[in-house]
């Protein structure tokens, strides 16, 4: 597939044209999207497939990290959301497939956790959970997830900032309410045509 190109006019060093060229250069691209699926979906898939015989023999537990993002439709995060939706679907199906072998498979549905995953910027700040509920510290998140697993969790664990709220609203409210809440503060809530 031919890469997309952009022609900017009024180009002068330090001007609007050069700023646009740099912004387009940094913009999300297909390679970045494929890389996210490679890491979040196919990486998880390959590791699970490679270790499945050992986990089955030990009647162990497989734990995959997902996200609340497929439940909240966060603007500008469609590729990440899609990859985590795939993780959840694959893990939930694997849970059923491996149950006859005595293997537990758990999806950790993760909310806002204070990590260095995202760069700065308004959209990234929203994705990090910096728009109200403080994100959970990684050590607190890890301790809670481990405690849940050791106490016998065998389906989904919801941890991190917003996780409980998203779990409740995604089960009890129409998607339109979640969409309104997600769009608020992104600029999408004020666009008119």
Q: What is the CATH number of the domain that holds 90?
A: 3.40.50.720
Residue 43 lies in a domain: yes
Catalytic (active site) residue 80: yes
Q: Could you give the number of structural domains in the chain?
A: 1
Residue 16 lies in a domain: no
Residue in 37, 84, 141, 144 annotated catalytic: 84
- Quote the pLDDT of residue 68: 87
Residue 51 lies in a domain: yes
The counts of H helices and E strands in the chain are 9, 3
Please tell me the distance from the alpha carbon of residue 51 to that of residue 8, in angstroms, as a whole number.
50
Residue in 34, 59, 80, 141 annotated catalytic: 80
Residues 111 and 136: beta-carbon distance below 8 Å: yes
123-175 residue pLDDT tens: 555 554 455 566 778 788 788 888 888 888 877 888 887 778 788 877 787 76
Residue 50 lies in a domain: yes
Residue 21 lies in a domain: no
| DSSP single-letter state for residue 187 | S
Residue 191 lies in a domain: no
Residue span of the structural domain in which 94 resides: 29-183
Residue 34 lies in a domain: yes
Closest CA to 87 of 68, 115, 111, 104: 68
49-103 residue pLDDT tens: 999 999 999 999 999 999 988 887 777 788 888 999 999 999 989 999 999 999 9
Provide the pLDDT confidence category of residue 116 given band limits of 50, 70 and 90.
low
Catalytic (active site) residue 84: yes
Residue 159 lies in a domain: yes
């Amino acid at each position: 597939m031919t890469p997309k190109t952009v022609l900017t006019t009024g180009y002068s060093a330090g001007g609007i044209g050069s700023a646009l060229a740099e912004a387009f250069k940094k913009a999300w691209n297909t390679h970045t999207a494929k890389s996210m699926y490679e890491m979040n979906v196919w990486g998880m898939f390959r590791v699970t497939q490679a270790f499945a015989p050992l986990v089955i023999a030990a009647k162990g537990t497989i734990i995959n990290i997902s996200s609340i993002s497929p439940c909240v439709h966060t603007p500008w995060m469609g590729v990440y959301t899609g990859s985590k939706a795939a993780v959840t679907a694959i893990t939930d199906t694997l849970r059923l497939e491996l149950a006859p072998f005595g293997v537990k498979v758990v999806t950790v549905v993760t909310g806002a956790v204070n990590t260095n995953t995202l760069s700065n910027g308004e959209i990234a700040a929203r994705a990090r959970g910096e728009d109200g509920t403080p994100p959970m510290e990684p050590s607190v998140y890890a301790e809670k997830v481990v405690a849940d697993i050791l106490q016998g969790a065998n389906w989904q664990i919801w941890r991190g900032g917003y996780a409980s709220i998203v779990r409740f609203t995604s089960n009890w409210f129409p998607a339109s309410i979640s969409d309104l809440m997600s769009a608020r503060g992104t600029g999408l809530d004020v666009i008119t045509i």
